Amino acid sequence: MTSTIKYKLLLSIGLLSAAIIAFQLVLMQILSIVQWHHFAYMIISVAMLGFGAAGTVLSLSRTWLLKHSEIMVPVLMMVSGLSMSFVVGWSQSSFTRFDSYLVFADYRQAGKLLLTYLLFFTPFFFGALAIGILFVQYVASISKIYFADLFGSGMGGLFALVLTWIYLPQQLPAIISILPIIAGIIILPGRSKSRALIIILSFLVILWQLAHPPQLIPSQYKDISKTLLLPEAKVTIQKSSPYGFVQTVTSPVLRYAPGLSLTAQNTARVKAAAFVNGDWFGPITSWKKEDSSFILDYTTSALPYVMRKRNKVLVLRTSTGIDVAHAVSHDVESITTTEPNSVVLSLLKKELALASDSLLYQPKVMSQRMEPRTFLMMDTARYDLIVLPMTGTFGGSSGLYALQEQAIMTREAFQEMWLRLNENGVISITSWMDYPLRNPLKVLATMVEVLYNSGIKNPRAHLAAIRSWGTITFVLTKSPVTVTEVANIRKFCDDMMFDPAILPGLKAEERSSYNQLQDERFFRYIDQILSENRKAFYDEYDFNIKPATDNKPFFSQFLRWENLNRLSHFFGTRSIPFFEVGYFLVLVTLVQIAIVSFVLILLPLFKLGWSGKNKFSILLYFSGIGLGYMFVEIVLIQHFILYFGNPVYAASAVLTSLLIFSGLGSNVSARFIGSKKDSYLLFVLIALLLLIDAFVLMPLLQNTIHVSLPIKLVIVLLLMGPLAFLMGMPFPSGLSLVSKSNPEAIPWAWGVNGCISVISTALATILSIELGFNWVLFLAALAYCLPVIGLSWF
Amino acid sequence: MNGVIPCLLFLFFVSFFQEDYKEKREGMVKLQIEKRGVKDAAVLNAMRQVKRHLFVPSSSIPDAYNDGPLPIGYGQTISQPYIVAYMTEAIKPKPEYKVLEIGTGSGYQAAVLSPIVKEVYTIEIVPQLGTAAANRLKKLGYKNVQAKIGDGYYGWKEHGPYDAIVVTAATEYVPPPLLEQLKDGGRMIIPIGSPFMTQTLMLVEKKGKKATTKSLLPVMFVPFTREKK
């Protein structure tokens, strides 16, 4: 390999790897638009097994592929690029398009799902096969090649981030597909006419695809699809961004009034509705008194304003401004509000300023662009009222949010809110009444734990809750609820036909004067949560209603696996996926990829032989580093999102710097890791750093959250840089070891790593929910001990 | 003579399948509806009479009498048979009743109400669904059902007030005009829950200028706490 070829080759690998990561991220967004986030994850996980499959194919056809590598590698790269530009369009054809909502109701959708898997698998498989051939062929230079791979992947993440600001989601696959085609052209051999023809044809195809991007058709069950069926409904604004695809829809019959009082006479019209990736985000309403009374005054959300006048309000999550408008309509003195989605904020300040009556330009409104929890940790002001976003969804969310980390819904977050209240301050949160009961009980449990934790002996004195036919609003008060406040609440309930659920001096019969429940156990549950025996109740209840914590911030995760049989008995087996469809899908994903991976890992052994030549040590080594790396990546992304207060940029920064630092580690690995002893030392160092991180990472980040951005960046680089640098070394040094003892097993080792990396993303999610993030870091440290065992048998 | 045998075969298959669906309907009523506690004879008869398989897309006909909701397109579903029966029974229908339905969907709920009450008025906001359902109901001879396409929020004032209102599409709020068009003592039933999930229902009873609601759990379950050992 001459130095010129080597340079070209490295560039080519970098471009291909960048395209693969960029395509993966773009695909995630496209599938989130047409289906849902978790289905997108399920599909992409299977597609990413293209890496494992490539390892298997390479193991089985090693000789032939290496013999024809000069032509095969560029051709595979170009085929990968071309398939990137086509698969999204094909997946949207009527023959292939499946509806994820129907997968559990209509099993005929399964065939379409299988076709979708196959389509999205294609570009990853061909791209991975090209990389795999080069890994095997140039194993002596593996540290350089792996560096190019990781560096390219890191840049691919940034590339996707930039592109999503500029182009619509459906245009992106064709743009990204240019990279693998260029990667192929760079190393395409010869100067013949056929070479020129291939280049011209490839670009003509891409140009055609750019001019005719596929039409994305969202599932008929997505919020935007249903809204667009309304009379005269039309999309008025659409903006692509890494925060998601934001669209606004107008229709004369659009209305918003969650759990509206039966006494209300308002029409509850809204001027527009905003959607992110086709999911409901919020209404844009008029708030001026002269238009009408504010609609939320006819819902239970009015509770904190009914109790007494509020002057200083904090709205945690602006969304489209409905809670801010509510506060403005009550003539409060100042409103602070925070929202991380900069696109929605920008819309409210520009295109939607008129429709929202210039809400964010009101002198009393101070708008922050930040994750609400990050703001809460940095803020030092005190408030009369802290408003949380409504929890649950009308009629139940079907568990779509079970895996969503909700940093403002943890016990620690409520504790911070409690500290931000002034003497008469309250925290207010409204929840849909769900069935079976989950959200309201968990909200109450969180509030009660905070009260006990703050030394309040009688939590009932600091709580009030009122209930309409569909919603319940809780307030947690810093000082005991006063007699005047109780009188105000009672009058409001009478006027609106609401019922008090928690109130000092409340009689049992008052709890359902207007809105009766067939199952009145709800009130007993409330009383049990308010009692000192609440912890026994948490254990007895069929759903997980223990307050979420920062270590396990999954507020909407309610399912307890040990009760699955009971739930299946009461509600029918077909209902079960809809209780916690998000979690259920990750399990399905894990099972699917585990089965396919099992086959992909075992298949080459029929050729390579089952025993001898370090098979088990290779399996341990490459499984361990695959598991460990992905576990660390997922935990770090979660922690840094909170630290920086911005999900998109934090995730990109973590991913990119992790990959680049690992690439640098890989680049120098040959120099530092020369013997088994060096490898042992390397793994001990990695495991030690991870154990230290498990203890110090979260407290360190929480205590330095107030510092300026440059200092934060330095802290993050110091925390992550050395770890990522070391984590980049085991893969190339492992392949070098394999090349010395059993070169035929190199593709298999690479395939094992590919399969286990995909498995570990799903596994990390499940472990985070069940055990918490700290445990995932511990397990990452343990995973890095597996290669140590493997090494001893090399 | 050549055409007789195919004709006989055709008639045999037609009658065979009709019989099959009748049995399925009978089974549906017995196992899914009566067993769960729906007792109103008129409702049970209507559920036996109305051919549910004619209200579902052709691809779902084999599943028409299954114990679950089915997709009918446009993000809408035809409710589980038991829920239809339960909602119909919940309004305590009488032969002289005038009933308003919001959300025609495929027209199945209106068809079930048709033999039980005097007049049924039904409104659908999605034109494609509304037109298809109106044609279907007309073709099947449900003469006391009047359908229109429009915004159900405002009800159908010209024919009001109604003895009962059945809202078949889940809604986040109760439209004030519907409450106005309900007779004093009238009942309104509304489902709560996303498609394919076990649904709860809300019953609104109008009493003068006031109204009360009752949340109903069609599928009652044992307590959600485990018995202490």
CB A429 within 8 A of CB A443: yes
Kindly determine whether residue A394 and residue B192, on different chains, have CB atoms separated by under 8 Å: yes
Task: Please tell me which of the candidates B125, B198, B220 has its beta carbon nearest to residue A575.
Answer: B198
Task: Please tell me which of the candidates A108, A219, A262 has its beta carbon nearest to residue B204.
Answer: A262
Residues of B designated as active site: 79
Q: Where does CATH 3.40.50.150 sit in chain A? A: 279-546
**C-alpha atoms less than 13 angstroms from C-alpha of A355 in its C-beta half-sphere:** 22
pLDDT at A60: 93
Nearest-neighbour CA in chain B from A102: distance (Å):
8
Sole residue written with tokens 């395509």: A23
Task: Please tell me which of the candidates B212, B213, B224 has its beta carbon nearest to residue A436.
Answer: B224
pLDDT at A542: 87
pLDDT at A712: 87
* Gap between the Cα atoms of A513 and B207, Å rounded: 13
Q: Are strands A463-467 and A383-387 parallel, antiparallel or unpaired?
A: unpaired
Task: Report phi then psi at A94, rounded to 5.
Answer: -65, -25
pTM of the model: 0.88
* Gap between the Cα atoms of A14 and A655, Å rounded: 16
**Which residues on chain B are in Cβ contact (under 8 Å) with A106?**
60, 71
- Any A CB within 8 A of B194 CB: yes
Q: How far is CA B22 from the centre of its chain?
A: 18
Residues facing A283 on adjacent strands? A273
- Any B CB within 8 A of A231 CB: yes
**Which residues on chain A are in Cβ contact (under 8 Å) with B67?**
572
A residues 261-320 lying closer than 8 A (beta carbon) to B: 262, 264-268
**Which residues on chain B are in Cβ contact (under 8 Å) with A301?**
none
Complex ipTM value: 0.83
Helix (H, G, I), strand (E, B) or coil at A792: helix
Task: Please tell me which of the candidates B71, B194, B217 has its beta carbon nearest to residue A106.
Answer: B71
Q: How far is CA A185 from the centre of its chain?
A: 36
- Any A CB within 8 A of B67 CB: yes
**Which residues on chain B are in Cβ contact (under 8 Å) with A225?**
75
Residue A777: C-alpha distances to residues A160, A763, A764, A771 (Å): 28, 13, 10, 11
- Any B CB within 8 A of A570 CB: yes
**Which residues on chain A are in Cβ contact (under 8 Å) with B64?**
none
- Any A CB within 8 A of B49 CB: no
**Which residues on chain B are in Cβ contact (under 8 Å) with A578?**
194, 196-197
Task: Report phi then psi at A133, rounded to 5.
Answer: -60, -45
* Gap between the Cα atoms of A290 and A277, Å rounded: 34
**Which residues on chain B are in Cβ contact (under 8 Å) with A256?**
172
Task: Please tell me which of the candidates A105, A259, A260 has its beta carbon nearest to residue B71.
Answer: A105
**DSSP state string for chain B:** -TTHHHHHHHHHHHHHHHHHHHHHHHHIIIIIIITTT---HHHHHHHHHS-GGGGS-GGGGGGTTSSS-EEEETTEEEPPHHHHHHHHHHT---TT-EEEEE--TTSHHHHHHTTTSSEEEEEESSHHHHHHHHHHHHHTT-TTEEEEES-GGG--GGG--EEEEEE-S--SS--HHHHHTEEEEEEEEEEES-TTSPPEEEEEEEETTEEEEEEE-SS----SBPPP-
- Any A CB within 8 A of B138 CB: no
Average pLDDT, chain B: 86
- Any A CB within 8 A of B172 CB: yes
- Kind and range of the H or E run holding A31: helix A3-34
**Which residues on chain B are in Cβ contact (under 8 Å) with A219?**
75
**Which residues on chain A are in Cβ contact (under 8 Å) with B199?**
395
* Gap between the Cα atoms of A594 and A755, Å rounded: 8
Sole residue written with tokens 């585990």: A594
Kindly determine whether residue B219 and residue A226, on different chains, have CB atoms separated by under 8 Å: no
Nearest-neighbour CA in chain A from B21: distance (Å):
20
- Any B CB within 8 A of A229 CB: yes
* Gap between the Cα atoms of A101 and B182, Å rounded: 35
Task: Report phi then psi at A550, rounded to 5.
Answer: -60, -30
Task: Report phi then psi at B99, rounded to 5.
Answer: -120, 135
CATH number of B8-216: 3.40.50.150
**DSSP state string for A566-610:** HHHHHH-GGGHHHHSHHHHHHHHHHHHHHHHHHHHHHTTHHHH-S
- Kind and range of the H or E run holding A142: helix A142-166
A771 class by beta-carbon count within 10 Å (0-12 exposed, 13-18 middle, 19+ buried): middle
The topology under which CATH files domain A1-217 is Growth Hormone; Chain: A; (1.20.1250)
CB A198 within 8 A of CB A187: no
Q: Are strands B182-192 and B200-207 parallel, antiparallel or unpaired?
A: antiparallel
Kindly determine whether residue B174 and residue A230, on different chains, have CB atoms separated by under 8 Å: no
Angle between helices A647-672 and A142-166 (to 10 degrees): 170
Task: Please tell me which of the candidates B67, B173, B192 has its beta carbon nearest to residue A268.
Answer: B173
Domain at A604-794, CATH homologous superfamily = MFS general substrate transporter like domains (1.20.1250.20)
Q: How far apart are the first and last CA of chain A?
A: 29
Residues facing B172 on adjacent strands? none
Kindly determine whether residue A469 and residue B217, on different chains, have CB atoms separated by under 8 Å: no
Q: Are strands B210-216 and B200-207 parallel, antiparallel or unpaired?
A: antiparallel
Residue A648: C-alpha distances to residues A26, A160, A164, A165, A712 (Å): 13, 11, 11, 12, 17
Nearest CA in chain B to A468: B213
- Any B CB within 8 A of A518 CB: yes
Nearest CA to A715 out of A774, A768, A639, A635 is that of A639
* Gap between the Cα atoms of A56 and A60, Å rounded: 6
Helices (H), A380-482: 411-419, 439-453
Kindly determine whether residue B224 and residue A543, on different chains, have CB atoms separated by under 8 Å: yes
Nearest-neighbour CA in chain A from B38: distance (Å):
16
Residues of chain A scoring pLDDT < 50:
1-4, 397-398
Nearest CA to A102 out of B191, B52, B70, B169 is that of B70
DSSP assignment letter at A541: B
Kindly determine whether residue B173 and residue A257, on different chains, have CB atoms separated by under 8 Å: yes
pLDDT at B11: 52
Angle between helices A730-741 and A142-166 (to 10 degrees): 140
Nearest CA in chain B to A537: B225
Domain at A279-546, CATH homologous superfamily = Vaccinia Virus protein VP39 (3.40.50.150)
**Which residues on chain B are in Cβ contact (under 8 Å) with A574?**
68, 196
CB A725 within 8 A of CB A664: yes
pLDDT at B7: 56
Task: Please tell me which of the candidates B71, B173, B219 has its beta carbon nearest to residue A260.
Answer: B173
- Any B CB within 8 A of A94 CB: no
- Any A CB within 8 A of B153 CB: yes
Which residues fall within 8 angstroms of residue A358, CB to CB, at 6 or more apart? Answer: none
pLDDT at B228: 38
* Gap between the Cα atoms of A213 and A193, Å rounded: 30
DSSP assignment letter at A323: H
Kindly determine whether residue B215 and residue A518, on different chains, have CB atoms separated by under 8 Å: yes
Q: What is the mean pLDDT of residues B182-210?
A: 83
**Quick one: tokens of A338?**
């925070």
Kindly determine whether residue B217 and residue A265, on different chains, have CB atoms separated by under 8 Å: no
Residues facing A516 on adjacent strands? B214
pLDDT at A609: 78
CB atoms within 10 A of CB B115: 16
Task: Please tell me which of the candidates B197, B221, B223 has its beta carbon nearest to residue A578.
Answer: B197
Kindly determine whether residue A105 and residue B151, on different chains, have CB atoms separated by under 8 Å: no
Interface probe, candidates A107, A229, A432, A441, chain B, greatest B C-beta count within 10 A = A229
Task: Report phi then psi at B146, rounded to 5.
Answer: -115, 130
Nearest-neighbour CA in chain B from A262: distance (Å):
7
pLDDT at B59: 85
Helix (H, G, I), strand (E, B) or coil at A432: strand
- Which stretch of A395-399, A423-427, B9-13, B104-108 has the lowest confidence by average pLDDT? A395-399
Kindly determine whether residue A515 and residue B192, on different chains, have CB atoms separated by under 8 Å: no
pLDDT at B194: 62
Kindly determine whether residue B195 and residue A106, on different chains, have CB atoms separated by under 8 Å: no
Instruction: Tell me if the bond preceding A436 is cis, omega within 30° of 0.
Output: yes
**DSSP state string for A205-245:** HHHHHHHSPPPP---TTSHHHHHHTSTT-EEEEEE--TT--
**Which residues on chain B are in Cβ contact (under 8 Å) with A541?**
224-225
Greatest pairwise CA separation for chain B in angstroms: 77
pLDDT at B188: 96
Nearest CA to A128 out of A758, A754, A576 is that of A754
Q: Where does CATH 1.20.1250.20 sit in chain A? A: 604-794
A267 class by beta-carbon count within 10 Å (0-12 exposed, 13-18 middle, 19+ buried): middle
pLDDT at B200: 78
* CA-atom Rg of chain B in angstroms: 19
- Any B CB within 8 A of A509 CB: no
Q: What is the pLDDT of residues B147-177, one digit of tens each?
A: 999 999 899 999 989 999 999 887 788 888 9
Of the two residues A648 and B106, the one the predictor is more confident about is: B106
Write down the domain spans for chain B: 8-216
Residue B8: C-alpha distances to residues B3, B17, B19, B21, B22 (Å): 9, 14, 16, 20, 21
Give the neighbor-by-neighbor strand order of the sheet with A334-338.
Answer: A365-368, A334-338, A312-316, A383-387, A421-432, A471-477, A463-467, A499-502
Task: Please tell me which of the candidates A222, A230, A394 has its beta carbon nearest to residue B172.
Answer: A394
